[in-house]
Structure 1
Amino acid sequence: MSDTSNDPLCLVFIPALVTVLYAAEKHKGASLTENEVNDIRDKSTCMAVPFSVALEQEKKRGYADIIAENCWEEWQSARMKLSESS
């Protein structure tokens, strides 16, 4: 196991917040509002893990998740990318 004592903690959503928001928007059948995105974020499960662990999980998952502090802006960017790939 690696030494994570100097590794800052970061929040990791379980499941990834981007997938939760995507599913919520598909279920709604319309774009989520900023309030809805923030409400989903605030009610989602997350853990504080060392940054290196979060980065390793992201690499295994194959895509980046949304950072909680910039949730609305990052969701706007992610949803555009998701709509282009569907």
Structure 2
Amino acid sequence: MGDRLIITHIPSLVATLLNKERAKGAPLTRKEVESIRDEAPAQVLTPEQRAAIDERREYDDIVPERAWEDWQVARLELIADE
């Protein structure tokens, strides 16, 4: 029972942020990213459950505690793919 539990956003936080930024039509601010993160639906999962979700998604979500920093990297990659 020593497993560390992991907060997991469902849908993924990166997808939620991308959709919010597209709807806004401009880059999200740090305050907006943190507010979206805090209000987004999430579940607490075991590492095994989280790994299964990541495998189905075929990508790792951004880390909630580093939402702003991770979002800055992810959004540049996502925008470059468009």
The TM-score bracket by the shorter chain reads over 0.9
Offset at residue 15 of structure 1 (A): 0.7
1:63 aligns with 2:59: yes
RMSD between aligned residues: 0.9
TM-score (norm 2): 0.95
TM-score (norm 1): 0.90
The aligned amino acid for 1:84 is: A
Whether the 8 Å CA contact 1:7–1:52 is kept in 2: the answer is: no
The aligned amino acid for 1:37 is: V
Q: Which runs of 5+ in 1 are unaligned?
A: none
Moved beyond 2 Å, runs of 4+: none
Count of matched residue positions in the alignment of Structure 1 and Structure 2: 82
Q: Which runs of 5+ in 2 are unaligned?
A: none
The 1-side partners of 2:51 and 2:63 are apart by 12
Which secondary structure state, in structure 2, belongs to the residue aligned with residue 11 of structure 1? strand
Offset at residue 44 of structure 1 (A): 0.6
> Which string of whole-angstrom CA distances, capped at 9 and with x for unpartnered residues, describes residues 54-82 of structure 1?
01110111111111100000000110110
1:16 aligns with 2:22: no
